[in-house]
Amino acid sequence: MARIGTPREPGQASTPRQLARNAAILRAAGRLGALHGLERVQMSDIAADAGVALGTLYRYYPTKHHLYAAALTASIRAMPEPAGIPDDPVVAVCDFLGEAAERLLAQPPLARAMLVSVNAIRSSADAPADLSTRERILAVAGVAEPTDEDHRLARMVEQCMYGILTWATAGQLDAAAAAADVRYACELLLAPWNERGRR
């Protein structure tokens, strides 16, 4: 995959008006990405659908890859967390990521757009590490003070999940099998959390 450069830092929405615009942009990107996929959707169409100027869209998202990577992050953040500390952290994460996989794969063109974009952004030399999914995994598990090992386990689960989703969007797995694989991978990789709880 070709490496992409970032000509400048994407803008950050901070005021209520900016946040509303950004939310409208992400909703429009989701609608059009689900219909047309990454290759066919145009930034001008997304701006028009969101009701913002094209320059506003580019201020926040310099490329389609930045936009759809942000859409994936927003989708993960929108998933509800269990209330309080779960009785079984592994089951909580298995359910959370299994449901996330099902939601993403319900719209294959959009899921592919998001995954391709995340990989493109990560291949950029100056791309900062995106810790949002790992942080959600730890939060869902109720790990308030994660150790280095906890961070490592969450990272491995995230990597495995994205690999499974990539296979699914390439047509190698159906959505049900992919979600089941995500849950099983979580169960295997996060077994140390259950072992720790028994001590």
Using the structure block, give the residue that is written with the tokens 């994936």: 72
pTM: 0.83
| Euclidean distance between the first and the last CA atom of the chain, given in angstroms as a whole number | 45
Using the structure block, give the residue that is written with the tokens 């929405």: 13
Outline which parts of the chain fall under CATH 1.10.10.60.
10-62
Q: CATH for 10-62?
A: 1.10.10.60
Instruction: Give me the pLDDT at residue 128, please.
Output: 60
pLDDT tens-digit series, residues 116-171: 999 898 887 565 656 688 999 999 999 989 999 999 999 999 999 999 999 999 99
Instruction: Give me the pLDDT at residue 199, please.
Output: 43
Instruction: Give me the pLDDT at residue 165, please.
Output: 95
Using the structure block, give the residue that is written with the tokens 């994407």: 10
Instruction: Give me the pLDDT at residue 10, please.
Output: 64
Three-class HEC string of the chain:
CCCCCCCCCCCCCCCHHHHHHHHHHHHHHHHHHHHHHHHHCCHHHHHHHHCCCHHHHHHHCCCHHHHHHHHHHHHHHHCCCCCCCCCCHHHHHHHHHHHHHHHHHCCHHHHHHHHHHHHHHHCCCCCCCCCHHHHHHHHHHCCCCCCHHHHHHHHHHHHHHHHHHHHHHCCCCCHHHHHHHHHHHHHHHCHHHHHHHHC
Outline which parts of the chain fall under CATH 1.10.357.10.
81-198
Q: Do the beta carbons of residue 109 and residue 34 sit within 8 Å?
A: yes
Distance between CA atoms of residues 87 and 97, nearest Å: 17
- The dihedral region occupied by 30, where left means phi > 0, alpha psi between -120 and 50, and beta the remainder, is alpha
Give the list of residues 6+ apart from residue 13 with CB closer than 8 angstroms, or none: 19, 21, 22, 60
Instruction: Give me the pLDDT at residue 195, please.
Output: 76
Q: Do the beta carbons of residue 137 and residue 157 sit within 8 Å?
A: yes
Hey, how many other C-beta atoms are within 10 angstroms of the C-beta on 154? 25
Instruction: Give me the pLDDT at residue 3, please.
Output: 42
**Topology annotation, domain 81-198:** Tetracycline Repressor; domain 2 (1.10.357)
Distance between CA atoms of residues 108 and 154, nearest Å: 25
Instruction: Give me the pLDDT at residue 13, please.
Output: 66
Instruction: Give me the pLDDT at residue 9, please.
Output: 60
Mean pLDDT by 10 residues, the chain (199 residues): 49 79 96 95 97 94 94 88 82 94 94 93 68 88 93 95 94 94 96 72
